[in-house]
């Protein structure tokens, strides 16, 4: 953990303070998740579905940020994936923009 913080501080030293801090949270009510569950199951019961769908959403989000450039050109980014007490993931992302 200490090494990762030191790595992040290298970004801050080189690029300055990050411009965006965005959190993406898993939603158990997403249609893709609900369609994949068996009757009587919740998202917490199927970690394989949760992780697969969340990974797809994160990839789509990152593609929007990096290729579509909805906030402008991105110099660099870093992220951290965490699991909530409910057993569902979320991601914290820092972005450094060119302008």
- The per-residue pLDDT string of the chain (99 residues; one tens digit each, 9 = 90 and over) reads 788 788 888 888 999 999 999 999 999 899 999 998 989 998 888 888 999 999 999 999 999 999 999 999 999 999 999 988 888 999 999 999 998
pLDDT of residue 18: 93
Distances (CA, A) of 7 to 15, 79, 81: 13, 12, 16
Total domains, the chain: 1
pLDDT for 23 = 95
Q: Which domain holds residue 23?
A: 2-97
Euclidean distance between CA atoms 85 and 7, whole angstroms = 27
Please tell me the distance from the alpha carbon of residue 61 to that of residue 40, in angstroms, as a whole number.
Answer: 30
């Amino acid at each position: 953990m200490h090494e990762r913080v030191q790595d992040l501080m290298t970004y801050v030293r080189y690029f300055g303070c990050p411009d965006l801090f965005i959190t993406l949270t898993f939603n158990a009510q997403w249609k893709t998740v609900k369609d994949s569950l068996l009757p009587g199951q919740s998202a917490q019961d199927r970690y394989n579905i949760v992780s697969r769908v969340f990974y797809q959403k994160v990839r789509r989000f990152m593609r929007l940020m990096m290729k579509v450039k909805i906030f402008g050109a991105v110099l660099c980014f870093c992220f951290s994936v965490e699991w909530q007490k409910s057993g569902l993931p979320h991601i914290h992302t820092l972005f450094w923009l060119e302008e």
